[in-house]
Amino acid sequence: MSSTRSKRTLLIAVGAATALATAACSSSDADGDSVSGGVAGKKVTLVTGVKSDPFYITMACAAEARARAKGLELTVEGSAQWDVSVQRPLVDSVAASRPDGLMISPVDTEALTPSLKQIQASGTKIALVDTSVTDPSIGISRISSDNEEGGRVAAKALAQQMGEKGSAIVISVKPGISTTDARIKGFTEEMANYPGITLLPTLYDNDEPATAAAQIQSTLAAHPDLGGVFAGNTNTGKGVAAGLKQAGKQGDVKVAAFDAEPEEVAALKAGTLQVLVAQDPAAIGAKAVDQLAAAFDGKPPAKQVGTTMVAITKDNMNDPQVSKYFYRSGC
């Protein structure tokens, strides 16, 4: 269904065979390694979680740059929304095209496993980026942030912002997503260290900012002592910020949100959000290309690759060593 996919194909390999041969012998990638003949010209598909999400745009831009350096042909596709029924046709399309490699952010820990097993059995090497699946046999490498630790970082920062008292709530996407489940786990475990804070039951917004805005407003009505919110991803952060602004509570209710996309950065500047826990999607995309390239070249890939996470506040957001983690809306 073309209306549910965004397809940007980057033909990175040089058109002429002689140019490819030259690249294989002498060109260098972003890591300084020479491009191997076992890598150049290999076809790789990246399937992101949501095509319009700056997190995945940032990841795709970096993956494209790294693939270009390595002489790979990279095709980028993405779901219109975070939903198995939308991502599954993209996975089926990959199965039919049989690329040499697949980088994918699965939108569910279980539902896509049979399809991914089939793709892997056909000879396509799979790298799981950002999110993962429960079955450990899927993928030659898994590249992601330490999301549990990110949840702990968010809890510590939010507790400090709240003065370690009042009610707090987690609003996230939906159960069954590896990354956000891990964030909630880390946040909940760390928040148990603050007895003055009452943690309310987690709410799920199905990745809809309008739903998150309505949820935060209803929570405020039911719990006037609400002092803090942990927003589990970009869209939730946007929705929470909007809901607090509409309720006239921005700044009064402290918010720690995951990610650092442009609207969240603007909300941090405005004081609607107090903490952003930024990931490094660019590193995830580049490192995934590295692991596939290693496998194509007969070298052992790393089974698990972690990437940096940074807590961003209004006080440090103008530091170039921090602002470099802001997500991009285009390459």
Task: Identify the structural domains of the chain with CATH numbers, from first to last.
Answer: 2-139+280-307 (3.40.50.2300), 147-279 (3.40.50.2300)
Amino acid at position 222, single letter: A
Q: How is 71-116 classified by DSSP, letter by letter?
A: T-EEEEEEESSS-HHHHHHHHHHHHHH--SEEEE--SSSSTTHHHH
Mean pLDDT on 135-151: 94
Which parts of the chain are beta strand (E)? 5-10, 43-48, 73-79, 101-104, 125-129, 141-145, 166-172, 197-199, 203-204, 226-231, 254-258, 275-278, 304-307, 310-312
**pLDDT surpassing 80 at residue 163:** yes
Q: Using one digit for the tens of pLDDT, what is the confidence trace for 24-42?
A: 332 333 343 445 557 889 9
- Give 176's Cβ-side CA count (13 Å radius): 12
17 pLDDT above the threshold of 70: no
- Cβ 118 vs Cβ 60: under 8 Å: no
Residue 36 confidence (pLDDT): 52
- Compute the distance between CA of residue 315 and CA of residue 259 in angstroms, rounded to an integer: 17
3-state DSSP call for residue 15?
coil
Query: Is it the case that residue 10 has pLDDT exceeding 50?
Result: no
What is the Cα–Cα distance from 169 to 10, expressed in whole angstroms?
Answer: 42
C-beta atoms surrounding 18 within 10 Å? 8
Instruction: Please check the confidence at residue 197 and state whether its pLDDT lies above 80.
Output: yes
- Residue 191 tokens read as 């928040």
Q: How far apart are CA 178 and CA 86, in angstroms?
A: 18
Average pLDDT over residues 270-280: 91
> pLDDT tens digit string along 58-81?
999 999 999 999 999 999 999 888
φ, ψ (nearest 5 deg) of residue 104: -145, 145
Residue 165: the pLDDT is 94
Coil, helix or strand at residue 129: strand
Average pLDDT over residues 279-292: 96
What does the angle CA 287 – CA 93 – CA 172 come to, to the nearest 5 degrees?
60
Question: 156's torsion region: left (phi>0), alpha (psi -120 to 50) or beta?
Answer: alpha
Kindly give, in sequence order, each residue whose CB lies less than 8 Å from that of residue 262, ignoring residues fewer than 6 positions away: 54, 326, 327, 329
Beta strand spans in 101-165 (E):
101-104, 125-129, 141-145
Query: What pTM did the predictor assign?
Result: 0.76
The rounded percent of the chain whose pLDDT value lies above 90 is 74
pLDDT of residue 37: 58
- Under a CB-based contact definition with an 8 Å cutoff, are residues 254 and 228 in contact? yes
